[in-house]
Structure 1
Amino acid sequence: MSSLRADAAARRALILDAADHVFGSHGVNAPLDLVVERAQVGRATLYRNFHDRTALMQALLERTVDRIARRARALEGRDDALFELIADIAQRTVDSPALSDYWRAVDPNDSAMKAARAEVWAIFEGPMQRAVAAGLCRPDLLVADITLISGMLGAALRGRTRDERTVLARRALELLRGGLQGPAAAVDTDGGNRSPEA
């Protein structure tokens, strides 16, 4: 019985991998037959696991949240875990543009989306508090800001190719890191630095 469950889990993972690839290459409206073909399973197997496209996208979303949670556990205890997790989100945007686009396009009040967002916020809360306590990022950072940060990283979706998305994601990370660390000292008219209070 356990081997049957393991086989079913392996088939489900295979379908999700195939969907991730197909949607990343052809968009979320790609024919599901392409997913079936890439996964090398029958249509009945696809629909036994995912009754429609929305269920497939939600499963991909859940898998991404689970990966973020596993990564956070692996980084536990590190002061810079917040920045590593944000870099992982940027990489996911590059690797899976369709899923990132889906995350941004679905109604934020959708129950599955709200649950996923709440889970991501809970994952980020500890690393964020640790980064603030270590003086690595600004003290006014809120866990809800993760949604805004994710949206900023989503600008990498403007890249038409993986290479273009990689360049955009790296630049977004550079700019975000500066913003997360806090406001830079203001520059006076003589070109010298002065403190924001001056």
Structure 2
Amino acid sequence: MSPKRPDAATRRAQLLDAADAVFRVHGVGAPLDLIVEQAGVGRATLYRQFADRHAILQALMERSVERLQQQVERLSARDDAFLLLLQYLADRIVDSPALSDYWRTASARDPRFLPLRRQVWRAFAPSLARAQACGLVRDDLQPGDISLLSGMLGAALRGETDAERRRLVQRALDIIHRGLRPATPA
């Protein structure tokens, strides 16, 4: 597979930025013409990059996982990286509610998304192990539980405004943090 020309890669990123912005306002069912308009490109450019709506959503999710990986690398030396990554996840849920909702509601066994879920679990695993070793989170938490935690944080999507969603996600994160703490001996 030959690498994309810089022009094609730039167009792809431009289309993904536009799709993220359009989906944020109009949901993942928004007309694709809105993405074309937002990106300032022709419809043919969109379809050269993405076969359909699902391909756009898949690419957005792949980009989200790549950005998560960058956060993992940036925070790798910190004992509290796991908790900071949960905060990052919470912020992404609020910043991109339609994509987050799509991600959360896609079947856990959907072959298009299972590899991405596994990448997320693997991304969180080292910081989880470190947080457990430092006594910051309970020992029984597993990397696969990230999907459950993400679902809990996704309850913030019920807020009608950004401010309300931010308040709800912070409240959910506070409750999750308390539940993640190791039990104190009686």
If the TM-score is normalised by the length of the shorter chain, which range does it land in?
Answer: over 0.9
- Looking at structure 1, the residues matched to 176 and 184 of structure 2 have their Cα atoms a distance apart, in angstroms, of 12
What code does the residue aligned with 2:18 have?
A
Q: 1:19 is matched with which residue? A: 19
Q: 1:41 is matched with which residue? A: 41
- Looking at structure 1, the residues matched to 174 and 184 of structure 2 have their Cα atoms a distance apart, in angstroms, of 14
- Does residue 65 (structure 1) correspond to residue 65 (structure 2)? The answer is yes
Q: Deviations over 1:133-173 (max 9, x none)?
A: 01111111111111110000000110111111111011111
Q: 1:74 is matched with which residue? A: 74
- Looking at structure 1, the residues matched to 174 and 181 of structure 2 have their Cα atoms a distance apart, in angstroms, of 11
Q: 2:141 is matched with which residue? A: 141
Residue 61 of structure 2 aligns to a residue in which SS?
helix
- Looking at structure 1, the residues matched to 176 and 64 of structure 2 have their Cα atoms a distance apart, in angstroms, of 22
RMSD, aligned CA: 1.2
What code does the residue aligned with 2:110 have?
D
Q: Percent identity?
A: 54
Q: Which has more radius of gyration?
A: 1
Shift of 1:112: 1.8
Shift of 1:184: 6.5
- Looking at structure 1, the residues matched to 90 and 13 of structure 2 have their Cα atoms a distance apart, in angstroms, of 23
Structure 2 residue ranges without an equivalent (≥5): none
Shift of 1:15: 0.4
Structure 1 residue ranges without an equivalent (≥5): 186-194
- Looking at structure 1, the residues matched to 143 and 87 of structure 2 have their Cα atoms a distance apart, in angstroms, of 16
- Looking at structure 2, the residues matched to 72 and 25 of structure 1 have their Cα atoms a distance apart, in angstroms, of 28
Residue 107 of structure 1 aligns to a residue in which SS?
coil
Maintained 8 Å contact 2:93/2:154: yes
TM-score normalised per structure 2: 0.95
- Counterparts in 2 of 1:1-198, with a 5 A limit? 5-183=5-183, 195=186
Q: Deviations over 1:26-80 (max 9, x none)?
A: 0110000000000001000000000100000000000000000111001111100
- Looking at structure 2, the residues matched to 173 and 182 of structure 1 have their Cα atoms a distance apart, in angstroms, of 16
